[in-house]
Structure 1
Amino acid sequence: MDSTITPEVANHVLSHYGRGGYQAGSLIEQIIKAIDMADPANRDKLALGFPEYVAAVVAIQYDPEGVRNLTAIAQGEVAA
C-alpha cells in the first residue's frame, strides 16, 4: 500500500482543517470527512482505497509537526 502524500493531497487536507491549502472537490472532501470521523478500524479500511489521504489526516491529527510537514509537502519543499 502506497501512502505517499502528494502536494495535492496535502493541500486538500490542510484546507479541510482550515490550515491553508485549497479545497478538494465534493467527493474527495466527503472522503476526507469520513477519514476524519472514522474509528481506527474503519480508518484502516479507508486506507485500502485512499492511503495517502489517511496518512495526511493521521499526520494532521496526531503528529505535533503534522501541519508544518503537510505545509512543506503542499509547497513542494519536501516529499512525504
Structure 2
Amino acid sequence: MSTGTPTIPAETARHVLAHFGHGGVKPGRFGEQLITLIAGADQQNAARLADSFPAEAEAVRMAQYDEDGIAKLQAIANGQAAA
C-alpha cells in the first residue's frame, strides 16, 4: 500500500457520496462495483485494492471511518477543498 495520501478527484468524491447516500452522482457499473468491493473488503484486501485504486480507496475510507469524512468529500465534490 502506498504511504502517501492520494488526491481524490471531485468526480470520485461524488461517486462515493452517492454510494453512501449523501447526494453525489452515481458512477457507471464498474465504478459502482469497485466502490462496493472496497467498502466491503477486509483490511488486507482493502489495502490490495488501494494499490490499484488509491483515490477510490481513500474516499471510501474517509466515508466509512473519518468523523468528518462525508463533509470533506462534499467539499471536494463541490470544488471547495482539495484532497
Q: Which TM-score applies when normalising by structure 2?
A: 0.93
- 2:79 pairs with 1:58: no
Identity %: 45
One-letter amino acid of the structure 2 residue matched with residue 30 of structure 1: Q
- 2:50 pairs with 1:47: yes
**Take 2:8 and 2:47, find their aligned partners in 1: how far apart are those partners?**
16
**Which of structure 1's runs of 4+ aligned residues deviate more than 4 A?**
none
Q: Which runs of 5+ in 1 are unaligned?
A: none
Q: Which TM-score applies when normalising by structure 1?
A: 0.97
- 2:23 pairs with 1:16: no
Q: CA deviation at 1:43?
A: 0.2
Alignment: residue pair count: 80
**Take 1:38 and 1:3, find their aligned partners in 2: how far apart are those partners?**
19
Q: Which runs of 5+ in 2 are unaligned?
A: none
Q: CA deviation at 1:3?
A: 1.5
- 2:60 pairs with 1:35: no
